[in-house]
Every structure is written in structure tokens, then in C-alpha cells.
Chains A and B, each alone.
Chain A
Amino acid sequence: MARPTVRRRRRAALAVATAASLLLAAACDSGTQSGEIKIGFITATTGPVAFAGQTFGNGTQLAIDQLNQEDYLGGGRKIKLVRKEGAENPARAVEQAKQLAGDQGVVGAICCILSPVAGAVKPITSAAKLPLDIYGATDLGLEDPPYVVRTTTLPQDANRSLARKVVAQAKPASVAYAVTQDNSGWVSQLKSFQEGFAGTGVRDLGTVNTLAAQTDFSGAAGQLMAKNPEAVVIAALQQSSISLIKALRSRGYRGLIVTAETIGSPGAFKAAGQTLADVPFPVYFFAGKASAQGQKFAQSYKAKYGTDPDDYAAQGYMAAYMMATAAKNAGKDVTRESVTKALSNIKSLDGTIYGSVRFENGQLHAPDSIVHITWTKDGRQTEWTPSGRSAS
């Protein structure tokens, strides 16, 4: 008779220990009033856009490290990035988003370079009432407050601005376009360039479509050159843009070539070299003209990673800064609900790496920080002016 009693006691003790462990784990996971605030981060350090994902990730991590060091949240609380590798693959990113959504200790998430990935992830996080900050995807309309905000600096505004500068200063008589036609983000960017040129008297000679998986651009270069444009605008993926620029220049095209921000990373110059010289592109972050906070960011970034930060690194930094600010503003009880509310209440921020920024319907705008830059032949970035080949 003694054995069943002992068993019952053991079982009771085990049950009590299990319940205590679960309660302890739940308390640790809640993120509320504990010393650690967990922010999910779906990274892209592998996969097709890993070259950009790495600098996005660098910027995000740098922001978290700096803010933790400065005790930005106050009271010794720290932000912990919960990194999940999504490889910018929609199915994989969705799985990672589900994991983050299932962890109630995670009070916010940062994700997505490609628009289709962001489109796939946001229903998952929204259903879990997990606030999501999109840091790289550019297709219009991805923001969806209160649960989805976007700190991606919209290239569409920057492209329109660059197009108008090209018209005013380089004065091309005609322009032809090339676009990655099967990617909605790039079609949207093409339209923004076209809007910038519209009504200016620059003759539109038409658009050459390319595909995301396309790797040979000899035909596309031939098509563009047959139109005999004084300027060519390329709204395409990084590799496509670089390859098309190389194909045009190697065939003797001497007119002005204009692209989006995609060729701004150091890796782009390493791959293409001086072929990219005098090709203007717009950025929101340029260390040479950055705010005081931006200068500090650029110095820290170079000290840690050995290169100047590009636009992607700045976007990663800004996404983390935004989420940290929401966590700070959420007060002592940092939950998904309080972070969501705090994100919605942010209408403007001063002293960011872009200077002063404002938010409209969950979208960050920083029009004053747009700079039109280009690569020099020796691999530096400088403000673009229509000189040399561009002006001829």
C-alpha cells in the first residue's frame, strides 16, 4: 500500500514542479517589466538578396547594440533581437513569422526586403496582433497600420526627384526605360521615374522589359540602343541593373544612364567597377550630407564593419530605432498591444539618422534627406552633377 502513496506524492511533486517551471517560463517570456524586450528579426543573410540582407542586418544590429549601450529604454532594460533566417523566400519567411507570432514574449517584428515576402508575412503577424516594421520592401501599399508600419524610405519619391534633376541639369531630349517587368516593386519604381519625366518635354521612346530571372542583357541593350535615346533609365534588380549598364557601355553607349538606389552598395561597385561611374542614383542616406545622428551612425558602422554604410544599412538601423522607440514609449508594461499603440502614435521623429522624419498612415517620409549621388571611377560616392560623360 505504501508504494501507490509514494507514487502519488512523486506525481504531485512533479506536477507542482512542472507548473512552477511553466509559470516561470511564462513570466520570463512575457517581456513585460522584465529586463529584456524581445524583437523578432526575420533576416536575409542567405538567399537571392543576401548581399543586401547582410547590410540591412548590420544596420539593425548596430542600432540595437548602440541603443542598449545608451540605456535607450531606461531602467537598464535591453532589447534582444530574436533572429530568424528567412532568406527572402516567401514560404520560409512565413514559417519564421509563425514562430515569432507563436512566441508571446516577442512584442514586435522587423522584416522583409522583397515586396512579395512582405506581402506574405504581414497577414501572419497581423493575425497574431504582432506589430511589424517592414524595413526594405518598396511596393506601394504594404503599410497597414496599426499592425504594419514601414520605415523603408520610399524610392518612388527619390526617383521622381532624381528624374526632375536630370531634366533640369542634364537636359536630355529623349529617354528610354528598362524595367524588371515581373516584379511589382520595380514596375512601381519605373512609374515614379516616368512621372518625374512626364510633362517636361523629354521624349519618351518606350520601355524595354526584362525579367527577374534574366541573366543575359545583350538583347535588351540592343533594343535600348536601337531607340537611340539620350538617356536610359533602368528600374531593375541590382544584378540586372549592373549587367545592363555593362552591356550598354561595352557596346559603346555614351548617353546618360540613370538608375535607382540599387547600385549603391559597395558590392555593386566591386562587381561592376568604373562602369558605374557617372551613373546617378538617389539615396536617402549619404554620410557626406547626413545629420549629426547620421554622421555618428556612419562612423560607428565603419568602425564595426570596415565599410561606409549604404542605404540598406541605414534602413536596417532606422527600422530597429523605430521599434526601440515604440518599445520605449510603450511604458513599463511592454506588450504587443502597447507597442502597437506606441507605433501608431509616432507621427514624427527628430534627430534620426535621416534628420527629421514624419509618418503618414504608417509610412515613413524623409524627403529632405534625398541626395542624388554617383560612383566615381575610383570607387567613392559623390554628389552627382551632370559632368563628363553624363553631360556630353
Chain B
Amino acid sequence: MLFVQQLINGIALGAVYALFAVGFGVVFSTMRILNLAQGVYATWGALVAYWAVAELGLPFAVACVAGMAGGALTAVMVDQVAFQPLRSRGGEQLLGTIITSVALWIALREVASLATGAAPLGFPPGTVPGGLLHIGGVRVLTTQIIAVVCAVAVTTLIHLLFRHTRLGAAIRAVGHDRGAAMLGGVNPRTAILTAAALAGAATGLAGVLYADNQTFTFALGDGLLLQGFAAVVIGGMGDARGAAFGGFMIGIVQVLSAQYISNSFQDAITFGLLLVVLVARPRGLFRTVELGRA
């Protein structure tokens, strides 16, 4: 029974990682950017949702949407401030984008620290769905169910958008070859801004669902960044399903390894798994975009 309990905890944690990884993957596959500022989208998503609930008294569902909007806005702002100037120069700017994303990461993290006084925050009691289901001897929180439902829904929607709509095709075309996409009538700026907003919204939601049942600080996104990066590498960069799969896998491995091997080594085990996958399948389990292209 303990195994099942921890498996459910792992799936719920993995759902948050999956949402984050989906956002991470969207940015990488569209813009070819290893965006290390992605973590702060989650932080700002959680902060906006927290303020919506604690200061404005809005219901949790509305706060989730506000958190997504907060993440999306942050992502678009980061893209326009940090990445657009580099894109306008043309050519490969991998190192430049990594450095600017680190700068934005630190800057937005410090702003979040100042805005919160670096104090731990938590959604006020009663504002987050607080139900607890007893299934056999297993306890499942309502928030855990919400996280899994959100992860599956967002992954499915982004997958469908990318594979079955004109907008998705345009975004993919820009990611594949910007010049050719322009010749085909695609507006690359619109495609990139849409992708940035989508990534920010998914990541912002990850932040809200990560923060909703515990306390969090301005550093919330830092932990998610590493796990989300590992998830997207394991699953594959160009496919939302792969990124989500990687996220669920990491959540489960992390919780079960903490239970049955050692809490102290859970990160070592997670990133050991990443190394194994990189050696065996460098393009991820879903074999999509090649890492080397970055």
C-alpha cells in the first residue's frame, strides 16, 4: 500500500514537472533557445495566483488563470527584452541566448525576492481545494488530482495545436527554418510570441500547482528548472507528449527513490537517469529534435 501511496505522490509531482517541461520544450523546439529564465515564469505565475487569492479574494480557479497569464506575460517580456535583439542580428546565437536568459533569470528572481521580502508564502487556508480522498488505504489530495488533470489536458491541447492547426504548423515551420517560413507567408514574430506565451502559460500553471499545497518562496522556479530540463531531455524536445512523459517519469523516480533508496540521493538518481537516457537515446525517448542542433 505504501508503494501505491508514493506512486500517486510521484505521479502528482510528475504532473507539475510535465507542465513545466511542456513549456520548456515549446520554447526550445520553436526558438532553439535553452531558456534558463524559464523557472521564473513558474515563480511569477505562482506569485500572481497567490496575490489574486490572498489580496483580491478571487477563487482558486480564477487564480490559476491569472497565474497562467502572469507566466505568459513574463515569458513574452523576457522574449522581447532578451531574445528578440539577438534574433534580429541573425545567425546562431546559442551562447548569447543562454547568457541573456541567465541574466533575466537572476534579475526577475531578485525582483520576486524584493516583492515578497524573501518571506515564505502560502495560499491562505480554505482558498485551495482541500479535499482528501481515501481510496483503500491510499490518500489522494484534490490538488493532486487537479495537477494530473491539468497536465494531461495542457499536454493534449498543445500537442493538438502543434500537429493539427495552421497556427501550430506555422510555429513549427518557424522553428524548423525561419527564412523558409517567411517565404511561405508565415509571420515569424507572431509565431514566436504565440509560442512564448504558450510556454509561459504552461509554466505559470506549473508554478501555481506546485505552490498550492505548501509554502513557497521567490526561488520556487529554481528547483523546477532542473527537473523540467531533465524531463524535456529525457522525453524529447520537439514533442509535448515526450516532455510530459519525461516529467511524469522524473516525479515518480524521485519519490520512489526517496522512499526505497535514499532521500539524500534522489537528485543524483534523477540526473543519473538523465545521463543514461542521453547515452542510450540522445534525442530523447520520443526521438524528436536533436540536441546537437542547439
User: Interface on A for B, CB 8 Å cutoff?
Assistant: 46-51, 53-54, 181-182, 208-211, 213-220, 222-223, 226, 238-239, 242-243, 246-247, 250-252, 267-268, 270-275
Contacts and interface: CB of A to CB of B under 8 A. Distances in A.
Contacts of A273: 122, 124-125
B264 A50 contact: no
Contacts of B156: none
Given A53-B118, A219-B6, A239-B120, 19 more contacts: A47-B118, A49-B118, A51-B119, A182-B264, A208-B263, A210-B263, A211-B264, A215-B214, A216-B13, A218-B9, A223-B258, A239-B217, A247-B213, A250-B141, A250-B213, A268-B120, A271-B119, A274-B125, A275-B125
Contact of B214 (A213, A216, A252): A216
B120 to A, nearest CB: 4
A239 B215 contact: yes
Nearest to A47: B118
B185 interface: no
Contacts of B6: 219, 222-223
Contacts of B216: 215, 239
B292 interface: no
B132 interface: yes
Contacts of A209: 262-264
Contacts of B236: none
A252 B130 CA distance: 11
B132 A251 contact: yes
B93 interface: no
The 7 nearest A-B residue pairs measured at CB: A50-B118, A243-B214, A271-B122, A209-B263, A51-B119, A219-B255, A218-B9
Interface string B230-260: 0000000000000000000000001100110
Interface secondary structure of A, over-half rule: helix
B249 to A, nearest CB: 15
A253 B275 CA distance: 38
Interface in B170-196: none
Nearest to A179: B263
A219 B259 CA distance: 7
Contacts of B223: 213-215
21 contacts: A46-B110, A46-B113, A209-B262, A211-B263, A215-B216, A215-B220, A216-B210, A218-B144, A218-B255, A219-B13, A223-B259, A226-B2, A239-B120, A242-B214, A242-B215, A243-B215, A251-B132, A252-B132, A267-B117, A271-B121, A274-B125
B281 to A, nearest CB: 27
A51 B120 contact: yes
